Structures are given as structure tokens and as C-alpha cells.
Amino acid sequence: MIRILIFVAFCILSFSSFSQNVVHGTITNAQNEPIPYASIILEGSTKGTMTNTDGTYEIKNLENANYTLVFSTVGYATISRKIKLYDNQNLEVSVQLQTVTEGLNQVVITSNRTRETLDEVPSSVSVVSAKQLQNLSQISTNSADLLQEVPGIGLSTNRTSSTGQTLRGRNMLVLIDGIPQSTPLRSGGRDVNTIDPSTIERIEIIKGATAIYGNGADGGIVNYITKKTNAAKRFESITNLGAEGSLSSIDHSIGARLVQTFSGNVNKFGYVVSGSFRQTGVFKDADGIVTSPYYGLGETNQYSFFSKLNYQFTDRQHIELMYNYYSSNQNSNYVAQDGEYLETPTIGILGNDLGVDQGNRYNHNIQLTYDFEKIFYQTDFRLNLYEQDFKTVYGFTSSLYDPSLKLDGGQSMITSTKKGARFNLNTSYEYGEVEGNILYGMDILNDKTAQGLVDGRPWVPQMDMKNFAPYAQLKTLYKELVFKAGIRFENINIDVPDFTTLVRYRNDSEVPTSGGIAVNGGKIKYDATTFNTGLRYNKWSFFKPFLSFSQSFSIADLGRTLRSATANTVSQINSEAVIANNYETGFNSRFGNTRISSAYFISTSDFGSTYSETENGAFEILRQPEKVYGFEVTVDAKFASNLNIGGSVSYTEGKLDTQDNGNYDTYMNGDRIPPIKTVAYLAYDWENVFNARISYIYSGNRNHFSANEDMDYLYGQGPVNSFNLVNLTANYTLSTSTSLGLGIENLLNTDYYNLISQWAARDSDYIKANGTRFNVSLTVKL
């Protein structure tokens, strides 16, 4: 690592003199109204910026040269402008974009490690834009809810846990600016709720098995892209004040939120700093009854601090430092009163919890990024150095009691520390009508993850994983044809120390029922080669087909396997890795003002990661072949310049080959496979002064399992019934600096149970969803 830093310092100190050329301007629409968050890119480079809320932009420190500026944003036609810069020139380039619906394909994504438009990606990608985030965060300030309308992602749980919120029926790898948040060595289900929505600029979702970021992306990746500096101002202040609460019964439900952000650019230096605090009241169902606080989001205190500093040494050298802190802990005056599954809900009643506050104690992320464009020939270099430090505490449970230690129960916690480096080289090439690039480099990651109890008892020993992975990705463009192919070499070594499994008791007995096994540690080694390839054809706007194949590599929750180990050596534990194969075909189409996209996928793996509940209540991983398949369809249409309508349908199903004979005869549990989901919306925008959006979500039935002779269902196999939700958001601009926002969750006060409450088939999990909730906000920009 020291050598890496020395190399970076040498590159920084060795740059030559540069000019102070500046390009700036304003981007407007046909009505001469400013367009915020539009993208401006210098063609053939990774350099660019976005417009401010008033449609202005600025790019500094450019050399004397010829450039092509590319202006694009969703819903508008992309245009280019050629410019030539001289010494210390201050050039204004303002443009007017024309409204079209095809602009979605010009959205630039970065989660493939390089800037690409959607037309260059032969697979399914969803982008939750800044404007969409503004609407969604008005409904809920829980980051898991920001993914509710994304096709292929399961609905959120309304809890701290994201268990069951899978992507195309498989686990997804959650990232913040490319930094892994998931803990695949011991999956804790907290990775989706590890960042405050006010920190996020957009969310990029790459669907289907992928190995681009390593272990854990069987279903794809979700990358939270954090906010950028305001390139158009030296100083900007944004203050957001908000209040929220239940409309089914407002007593004790009121919460408050404060977010303060400062950003700007001063010469070669850019910065953005923000902090937030949110305190929630109790959450209530449609009948005004307090929902269970167990793993709940009510009565929580959330803190967030975010900063991003960047410095442009020359037009080719850029360095950026990002830090993000997030904490969310529950301090409730209520305890859970268990109901009866399928009969009465589990609710919250006044009482004192026996344990300490549960929630994410802390999540620290820090990353240093160094870019050197054209470090040699037509090759760009990027270096990422990052670290994540994470701790989460789960709720108190009597199932962890130990009479020999006079403990009535216990709380588990997961700690994880990741340190990593990424070396990325991107070489462009052109040969006649053929052009493209080769992306290559290596990833280095050290992940130390453990699960213990708050009282000091060990449960899962600290697993020390070292991952080294070279990779290469080729992209070739010939006329309207896009071809991609890539390879990644995974080399993983995991050190497991000697440990003794946790002694467990049942039914208040003083006789142990399991655990106490001394397990000899050792090394577990995984080597795998994963491939991807894809083809896309963009000749016709009414039909742009693509076809792709991709693979992922993941370890099926080694920690859960270790904590229930019955073998006395690590070498005897069945911990084979999962290689998922994803086959996908789809298309994008445009007919006038209507956009349609569709995809069909099949994902297979020889080894599975589905949990099965044993007779004594423990869990084991079924190492059976799996097949997951489904489709997604999205439609968006512009009826007028200020009226949009659209929606999506996503269906996923999964089966197991229990006899390993090629016959997939058993349905997968609800914690992996969500029911069919339909989303529809109607959005109205009046001259950028007032906008409103109403959305409808339908979640279907899924009932593939039967109860046992005692009329009980195993975990994950409870019947899931359909429900309908309607949400509303509205924003009104009082002045150029002040705006009001309103969000209504569950507008019709639908009385229903979340998906996890239904398929979990447990009394303690049988919790009703939120009734109608409001969220009002005041935003002031200076």
C-alpha cells in the first residue's frame, strides 16, 4: 500500500504546467427553462460535470486543444458542440435541448467501471435518477424504499433487515461509490440500509449475475452514487427541514429531519459536505395500532455525515477523497407482543426491552480516487483505495439464553472491516470503422467478518478473506453493433481460526441441545474463472435487441455454516462456492413519445444458497442446483410536455433440483422469490413551479407450499397474498431559493402485511405494514 501511495504522489508531482481555460454555460429546454442535473462530457475522456439546479455548469483547467462537448439528460435529445481553446480562455457554451423520449438510452452509467451510455450495455440496467430520488425520498427516507419501483427488486420490508429484498431472486451486492456494503461471508441483511438518502445523487442497478465487483453479486449490483460538488458556484448552501408521522393515528408518531449541505468549486478545488439527523416516532398500521418494534424503523435516531473533496491538478490528473458515516439505532419505549400467525398481528406495547439498542451502530466508508487520463498512449488510469468499517446489533432474543452463565437471552452483532485497492486501465482503440476500448486491471480485497454476542460470547469466528482478482473487459463498436466480452480470475483464501460452536438450549431447559463442538480451524481456498459476453444492435429506434451471458462468484454464507458446524474440522464443512450463470435477452423500443423495454432471463447454478429450517429450528444451506427465471417489461409515455405516464411488470420464479437429476421440481422459498410486481405512475409538471406524482404498486399472490399436520409452515414457505398500494408526492416552488414538498405513503390507508410478514410464517414476524404516513419538507437554497 505504501508503494501505491508513493506512485500516486510521484504522478501528482510530475505533471507539467497547464492552462487555466474554462468552459461554462447554461442548458435550457425549448421554453428557455433551465435543465438541472444534465450531463456534460468531454468526448473521448472521463472528464465531465453536471448542471446545477439553475441549469448552469462549469469545467475548469482545460489544456489548449480541440474538444467535443456532449450534452445529455433523460427525456431530451443528446447534442454535441466542437470547441477550440486558447491560453486562459473563458468560453461560454450554452445549448438548448429538444424534448424526446429516447433520451433514456443516453443516460451515462459508471458502475461498469467506465462511463457508458445505456446503448453501449448489452444487458438490463436501471437508473434511479436525481429527480426520481427527490420524489421517492418524499414518500420515505428509508434507503431500501428507494428501490421499490425498480423492476426485478423485491419490495422492502419496512424493517432494518432487507431479507427477502432480492434482485431477480438472488442476492445483490450493495455498493456505495463502488465500496462493498454487503457482508457475504456472514450475510446480515443490513446492506441496503447503510446510507442516508440525502447523500445519494443517483442509484445504478446492473441486473443479472456479474463478477465485476467480486464476491456476492449473484443477482446483480446496486450502486449508491453519492453527490457531486456544485461545479457552477463557489459556494452553495441547501437546508432541508422535514416532519413525518402517521395519519391513521398521529399520537407519538411525529418525527423530524434536518439535512444541511454545503458545496462548491473554488478554482481547482471542489467540495461537498453534508450532515443529517432524523428522529422517527412510532410506526402505526392502518388501524392506528403501534407496529412491533422488533427490527423496526420506529423510534430510531439516525445520523449521517458525508464529505467529498476533489482537486484538479491538470486537465488530465484528478484526485478525490470521499468519506461517509451513517448510524441508525432504535431507542424504543415499546416491546413486541406476539400475535398468532395468520390470525392476529404482532404489535408494540409499552414496556422495557431487555437488550441494548438495536440497529447499525456505525458504517464508515472512506475512498481515495486518483485519475490520470492518457497516462500513456490512449490509456486512462484509475486507482481506488478504500476502507469500510461496519457494525450492526440485532434484537434481544430469549433463544440465546444460557442458564450456565445466568443469561436470560442475548443479542448478536456482526462486525466487518474491508480494505481494498482497485487498479484500472482503460485503453481506447480505433481501426477504420471499428472502435472501442479494453478495460483491464486487478482488485485486491481483505475482508474480516465475525458474528458474536453483545455479552461477549463468540458465535461465528472472525473469518479473514484475502481476494486477488485480475480482470479484462473488451468493448467493440462497429457501426450500430456493440460487442462485449470479459474475464475475471478469482483467487480467494479464507483463514478460519480454531473455535467452539455456541452452546444452545431450548424451552428453558438446562440441558444443551446443540453446540459446544470444538472445531479445528484452517484455510479455505476458492479459485474460479468467470466470463461474460454480450451483443447489442442499435440500428432501429423502434427495436434495439440485446443478448448476453454472464457469471458471478459467491460464497454461500460461510458464517452461517460455521456457526452450526457439526464437523470438528473446517476441511469437512461443505462450503463450495456458487457460480451463477445468467442468460438474458431483451430489447429497447421507441414509438413516437412512447418507450418500451423488455427482458427475459434464466439464472442457473449447480450449488444453491437457499436456507431450510430443520426440525429443531436451526437453518442449513441446501446445496442443490437452482434455476431462477422471469421477465421484466417497462413502458413510459409522454402525453404532453408536462404529463408522463408509465409503469412496469416484473415476474420472477425459482425452483430447486432436490434429487440432482435435472428435474427442477421444488419451488424456492419466499425469502428468495418475490411475487409478481406491477408499478404504474402518473406525473405532472407545471412550468417547473409545481409537480405531482401518483404511483401504484401491486404485489401478487404466491402460494406454492403446504402446511404440516400441525397446520404450521416452515420458514420461508408461508402463503403470500396480494395487496395494492398508492403513494403521492408533490413539490411547489415558492421562489428561486425556497420550495415545499409533500409525500403521502399508503394514500388509501390499505390494511396489509409486508411480504416478509407473510412468507416468514412466524408469530414474531407477523407484523402489519404502515398505514397512511405523511412527510412534509421545506428546502432553502442559497
Residue 184 near residue 171, CB atoms below 8 Å: yes
Vertex 549 angle, CA 546 and 551, to 5°: 145
Chain-centre distance of CA 499, in angstroms?
34
Highest mean pLDDT among 88-92, 176-180, 554-558: 176-180
Phi and psi based region of residue 190 (left: phi greater than 0; alpha: psi -120 to 50; beta: remaining)? alpha
Residue 765 DSSP one-character state:
T
Q: Domain limits of the chain?
A: 18-100, 221-781
- 3-state SS, 678-740, equals EEEEEEEEECCCEEEEEEEEEECCECCCCCCCCCCCCCCCCCECCEEEEEEEEEEECCCCEEE
The whole-chain average pLDDT of the chain stands at: 89
pLDDT score, position 55:
84
- At residue 356, φ and ψ (nearest 5 deg) are -85, 170
Q: Which of 21-25, 149-153, 496-500 has the least mean pLDDT?
A: 21-25
The residue behind cell 447454478 is 605
Band of the pLDDT at 21, cuts 50, 70, 90?
confident
Classify strands 522-537 and 481-496 as parallel, antiparallel or unpaired.
antiparallel
Q: What is the pLDDT of residue 103?
A: 46
Residue 577 C-alpha cell reads as 462456492
Dump pLDDT digits (tens) for 231-253: 678 899 999 999 999 999 999 99
Residue type present at position 263:
S
CB-side exposure of 717: number of CA atoms within 13 Å? 17
Chain-centre distance for alpha carbon 482: 27
Please report the pLDDT score of residue 94 as a whole number: 92
Mean pLDDT of 246-274: 94
> Quick one: which H or E segment has residue 39?
strand 39-42
Residue 617 φ/ψ region, left for φ over 0, alpha for ψ in the -120 to 50 degree band, beta for the rest? left
Taking residues 112-117, what's their average pLDDT?
A: 83
What CA–CA distance (Å, rounded) separates 208 from 36?
31
pLDDT value at position 66? 82
Q: How far apart are the first and last CA of the chain?
A: 41
pLDDT band at 15 (very low <50, low <70, confident <90, very high): very low
Give per-residue burial for 739-748: e unless 16+ CB within 10 Å, then b: bebbbbbbbe
Residues 46, 426: Cα–Cα separation, whole Å? 10
Query: What pLDDT was estimated at residue 774?
Result: 96
CATH classification number, 221-781, choose in 1.10.10.10, 3.40.50.150, 2.20.25.90, 2.40.170.20: 2.40.170.20
What is the pLDDT at residue 487? 95
Distance CA 254, CA 249 (A): 10
Q: Is the pLDDT of residue 214 over 70?
A: yes
Does the pLDDT value for residue 575 go beyond 80?
no
Which single residue is written with the C-alpha cell 392476529?
344
pLDDT tens for residues 610-644?
555 555 444 556 668 999 999 999 999 988 878 99
User: Could you give the 3-state DSSP secondary structure of residue 183?
Assistant: coil
DSSP letters along 589-622, please? EEETTEEEEEEEEEEEESS--EEEE-TTS-EEEE
pTM tops 0.85, yes or no? yes
pLDDT at 13 over 50: no
Among the residue ranges 46-50, 307-311, 507-511, the one predicted with the least confidence is 46-50
Q: What is the pLDDT of residues 442-474, one digit of tens each?
A: 999 999 999 999 999 999 999 999 999 999 999
746 pLDDT above the threshold of 90: yes
Spatial CA neighbour of 671 closest among 599, 762, 769, 745:
762
Contact 769, 753 (CB under 8 A): yes
- Encoded amino acid at 106, one letter: Q
Average pLDDT over residues 652-657: 95
CA-closest candidate to residue 389, choices 160, 145, 176, 164:
176
What's 18-100's CATH class? mainly beta
Calpha distance 448→138 (Å, rounded): 37
Q: Of residues 8 and 345, which shows the higher confidence score?
A: 345
Specify the pLDDT at position 68: 85
